[in-house]
């Protein structure tokens, strides 16, 4: 047994050793231990000192182990780029897109790993499913990366060279460039690139038209240019005049859009809204009927444009109707802007050449970031430029940068070829769907989309959409004109070709896709409702797809996507390894 004095010496030495063990230069420090400590160590049995030091070392090690996971979690994603470069530098095959994604997501993962994982999982999902949603596309990596930068930090309410904040010179340059690209692309007199979406663009257009045609003339009559100076009585009179104007747009159930006067949308709240539909027999627009309605209603705005109409619109004829009725002619070309940009829709079918105001999104067929644009004649330019404070707050500088990139891409000769291929692919697929015995609305298409009636299969649109999704085909259910199943279950499917055309697919692939759609739909049956008031009737939601047919469909979809991969310059496995 050790004496009391010896025990004290051991404890003292152990503490000293523990302190030194946690220092980076532990060995050097031990050599420079004061003479007193050395003497104490000599008086203490060596075995006891060793045991005490070992015990102290273990305690320190345990503390270090506890801290290590936190450090590793922070460092691992940051090393994802270095790991990728080290693994691939020998082969000489390094994808800049993958490297950029790894760098980007490493920073994201250091803060929110679930977000980084979600991005990678979305890439995996898109690689595993055919995208036939008419309003979706694949934007370039250049467009994507233009959105991920510090331009998002800057407030820039106003327009270039006329802001409500200081320090907007760089935003001015980016926005001005985007405006110039938009005007060049569409041949427009004026362009406003700030809207965050197509819905925003429409609201700005509506209020700009109301301002120019209603509010400003009324203010002139009152002898006051500034509405803030009006009395309460005059202000309410102006509001009543501006807020009860008439809008005549395409019926939602005939292929129009929510923002065109649909009663569940704000557009129907701000206007006395009316709708024109399609001919019940042909499914086509009846211009004579539209003219009759316009002359009777006398709307402030005659609105054209669609989200689910498979034919061209004669915008020259629509402008004639608008002029005759004394209306402003507005077109929402969100769905087919890429076809206008690519010069597929020209002459009487070019909305920019005939409308007073044109709105669009920058994604869909235009293949840019999610956002909007307003184009207009000189008459409405000043009112449109007052989108802030009229409707919007500050614009998104980083998204305007991405719009500028996408518009530059669309101004290239390659884009014309792409736009033409979109329509050719849609025409080809619709013809093969008809050849497969499917019912296609209006007997085909002249643009980027077409509609299939799924009721001959005994299905609702909801069942058909879900069955196809399970087999690797992503599209959306859609109401058909005069649809008895309503907007939730629907009787139809909307199919678009912008995304698969971006992948490089052509006529042969369109034929194969049509065959896959037929395979799935013809082997899907609705379940029977088991209980309740609809017991014994076919379900409108539940269904069963033959397992063998589903397996074959998935295999054929995989073969298509293996030949035409989504974002081929992104190394999915490297991204999964780093973030999933």
**If you ran DSSP here, which 8-state letter would residue 259 be given?**
G
Q: Quote the CA–CA distance of 189 and 183 in Å, as a whole number.
A: 7
Element holding 375 (H helix, E strand)? strand 372-376
Q: Quote the CA–CA distance of 570 and 140 in Å, as a whole number.
A: 12
Give the residue with greater pLDDT, 82 vs 282: 282
For residue 301, report the phi and psi dihedrals to the nearest 5 degrees.
-125, 130
Quick check: 96 and 145 in contact, CB under 8 A?
A: no
Give Cα 498 to chain centroid, integer Å. 14
Complete DSSP assignment for 85-130: HHHHTTTT---HHHHHHHHHHHHHHHH-HHHHHHHHHHHHHHHHSE
Q: State whether 440 and 343 are in the same domain.
A: no
Q: State whether 256 and 210 are in the same domain.
A: yes
Q: Quote the CA–CA distance of 522 and 549 in Å, as a whole number.
A: 9
Q: Quote the CA–CA distance of 175 and 295 in Å, as a whole number.
A: 40
Complete DSSP assignment for 41-67: HHHS-HHHHHHHHHHHHHHHHHHHHHH
pLDDT of residue 79: 78
Range of the domain at 400: 144-411
Q: Could you identify the residue written with the tokens 């008086």?
A: 43
Beta-carbon contacts of 332 under 8 Å, excluding residues fewer than 6 positions away, are 198, 202, 257, 259, 260, 303, 304, 305, 358, 359, 360
| Residue 424 belongs to domain with CATH number | 3.90.1150.10
Q: Could you identify the residue written with the tokens 């004579």?
A: 288
**If you ran DSSP here, which 8-state letter would residue 533 be given?**
T
Quick check: 456 and 429 in contact, CB under 8 A?
A: no
By DSSP bridging, strand 162-163 and strand 158-159 are antiparallel
Q: Is the dihedral of CA 481, 496, 127, 561 positive or negative?
A: positive
* Catalytic residue chosen out of the listed positions 361, 408, 460, 502: 361
Q: Quote the CA–CA distance of 218 and 530 in Å, as a whole number.
A: 63
pLDDT of residue 65: 46
Q: Could you identify the residue written with the tokens 């030495």?
A: 13
92 in any annotated domain? no
Q: Quote the CA–CA distance of 368 and 417 in Å, as a whole number.
A: 17
pLDDT of residue 325: 98
| Residue environment code for 273-285, b if the CB has 16+ CB neighbours within 10 A, otherwise e | bbbbbbeeeebeb
* Catalytic residue chosen out of the listed positions 131, 163, 364, 431: 364
pLDDT in tens, 424-436: 999 999 999 999 9
Known catalytic residue: 332?
yes
Nearest to 119 by CA among 86, 149, 88, 148: 148
* Count of residues in the chain: 580
Give the end-to-end CA distance of the chain in Å, rounded to a whole number. 57
248 in any annotated domain? yes
**Domain end (from 411, 435, 459):** 411
Beta-carbon contacts of 95 under 8 Å, excluding residues fewer than 6 positions away, are 569, 570, 571
Q: State whether 485 and 434 are in the same domain.
A: yes
Q: State whether 429 and 351 are in the same domain.
A: no
Q: Could you identify the residue written with the tokens 């000489």?
A: 92
pLDDT at 384 over 80: yes
pLDDT in tens, 398-441: 999 999 999 999 999 999 999 999 999 999 999 999 999 999 99
CA distance to 112, 149, 205, 445, 580, per residue, from 74 (Å): 11, 22, 47, 53, 15
546 in any annotated domain? yes
Q: State whether 212 and 270 are in the same domain.
A: yes
Q: State whether 375 and 261 are in the same domain.
A: yes
Give me the number of domains the chain comprises: 3
| Residue 403 belongs to domain with CATH number | 3.40.640.10
Q: State whether 263 and 403 are in the same domain.
A: yes
223 in any annotated domain? yes
Give Cα 8 to chain centroid, integer Å. 71
**Domain end (from 411, 446, 470):** 411
Q: State whether 382 and 530 are in the same domain.
A: no
* Catalytic residue chosen out of the listed positions 12, 76, 154, 155: 155
**Domain end (from 57, 76, 95):** 76
**Portion of the chain with pLDDT greater than 70, in percent:** 87
Q: Quote the CA–CA distance of 278 and 250 in Å, as a whole number.
A: 9
Known catalytic residue: 136?
no
pLDDT at 350 over 90: yes
pLDDT in tens, 77-109: 457 888 888 888 878 888 899 999 999 999 999
Known catalytic residue: 16?
no
* Catalytic residue chosen out of the listed positions 175, 200, 291, 332: 332
- pLDDT band of residue 10 (cuts 50, 70, 90) is very low
- pLDDT band of residue 364 (cuts 50, 70, 90) is very high
For residue 344, report the phi and psi dihedrals to the nearest 5 degrees.
-80, -35
pTM for this prediction:
0.85
Tokens of 127: 């690689």
Q: In what order do the strands lie in the sheet with 439-440?
A: 439-440, 449-453, 492-496, 476-478
**If you ran DSSP here, which 8-state letter would residue 242 be given?**
H
**If you ran DSSP here, which 8-state letter would residue 364 be given?**
G
Q: State whether 544 and 467 are in the same domain.
A: yes
pLDDT in tens, 167-226: 999 999 999 999 999 999 999 999 999 999 999 999 999 999 999 999 999 999 999 999
* Catalytic residue chosen out of the listed positions 83, 136, 157, 546: 157
Known catalytic residue: 11?
no
Known catalytic residue: 361?
yes
Q: State whether 157 and 252 are in the same domain.
A: yes
Nearest to 183 by CA among 407, 419, 364, 415: 407
CA distance to 105, 281, 299, 314, per residue, from 324 (Å): 56, 27, 11, 16
Known catalytic residue: 571?
no
């Amino acid at each position: 047994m050790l004496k009391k004095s010896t025990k004290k010496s051991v404890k003292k030495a152990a503490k000293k050793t523990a302190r030194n063990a946690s220092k980076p230069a532990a060995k050097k420090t031990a050599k420079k231990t004061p003479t007193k400590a050395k003497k104490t160590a000599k008086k203490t049995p060596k075995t006891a000192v060793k045991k005490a030091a070992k015990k102290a070392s273990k305690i320190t090690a345990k503390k270090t182990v506890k801290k290590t996971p936190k450090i590793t979690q922070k460092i691992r994603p940051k090393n994802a780029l270095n790991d990728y470069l080290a693994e691939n530098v020998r082969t000489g095959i390094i994808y800049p897109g993958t490297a950029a994604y790894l760098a980007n997501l490493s920073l994201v993962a250091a803060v929110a790993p679930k977000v980084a994982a979600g991005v990678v999982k979305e890439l995996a999902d898109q690689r595993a499913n055919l995208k036939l949603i008419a309003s979706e596309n694949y934007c370039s990596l250049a467009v994507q990366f233009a959105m991920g930068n510090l331009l998002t930090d800057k407030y820039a309410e106003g327009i270039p060279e006329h802001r409500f904040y200081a320090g907007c010179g760089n935003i001015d340059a980016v926005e001005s460039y985007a405006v110039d690209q938009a005007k060049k692309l569409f041949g427009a007199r004026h362009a406003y690139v700030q809207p965050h979406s197509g819905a925003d663009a429409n609201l700005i257009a509506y209020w700009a038209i109301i301002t120019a045609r209603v509010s400003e003339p009324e203010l002139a009559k009152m002898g006051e240019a500034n509405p803030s100076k009006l009395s309460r009585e005059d202000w309410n009179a102006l509001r009543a005049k501006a807020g009860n104007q008439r809008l005549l747009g395409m019926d939602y159930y005939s292929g129009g859009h929510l923002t065109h006067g649909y009663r569940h949308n704000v557009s129907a709240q701000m206007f006395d809204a009316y709708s024109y539909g399609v001919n019940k027999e042909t499914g086509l627009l009846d211009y004579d009927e539209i003219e009759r309605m316009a002359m009777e209603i006398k709307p402030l705005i005659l609105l054209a444009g669609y989200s689910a109409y498979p034919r061209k619109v004669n915008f020259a004829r629509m402008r004639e109707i608008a002029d005759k009725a004394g209306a402003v002619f507005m077109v929402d070309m969100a769905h087919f802007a890429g076809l206008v940009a690519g010069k597929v829709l020209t002459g009487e079918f070019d909305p920019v050449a005939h409308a007073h105001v044109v709105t669009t999104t920058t994604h869909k067929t235009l293949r840019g970031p999610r956002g909007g644009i307003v184009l207009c004649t000189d008459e409405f330019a000043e009112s449109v430029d007052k989108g802030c404070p009229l409707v919007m707050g500050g614009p998104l500088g980083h998204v305007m940068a991405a719009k500028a990139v996408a518009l530059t891409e669309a101004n290239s000769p390659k884009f014309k070829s792409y736009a033409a291929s979109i329509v050719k692919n849609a025409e080809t697929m619709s013809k093969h769907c008809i050849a497969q015995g499917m019912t296609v609305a209006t007997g085909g298409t002249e643009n980027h989309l077409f509609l299939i009636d799924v009721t001959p299969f005994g299905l609702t649109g909801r069942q058909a959409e879900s069955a196809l999704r399970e087999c690797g085909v992503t599209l959306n259910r859609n109401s058909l004109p005069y649809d008895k199943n309503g907007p939730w279950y629907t009787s139809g499917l909307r199919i678009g070709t912008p995304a698969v055309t971006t992948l490089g697919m052509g006529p042969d692939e369109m034929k194969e896709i049509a065959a896959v759609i037929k395979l799935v739909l013809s082997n899907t049956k609705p379940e029977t409702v088991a209980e309740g008031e609809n017991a014994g009737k076919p379900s409108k939601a539940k269904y069963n797809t033959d397992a063998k047919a589903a397996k074959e469909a998935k295999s054929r979809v995989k073969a298509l996507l293996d030949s035409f991969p989504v974002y081929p310059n992104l190394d999915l496995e490297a991204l999964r390894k780093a973030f999933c």
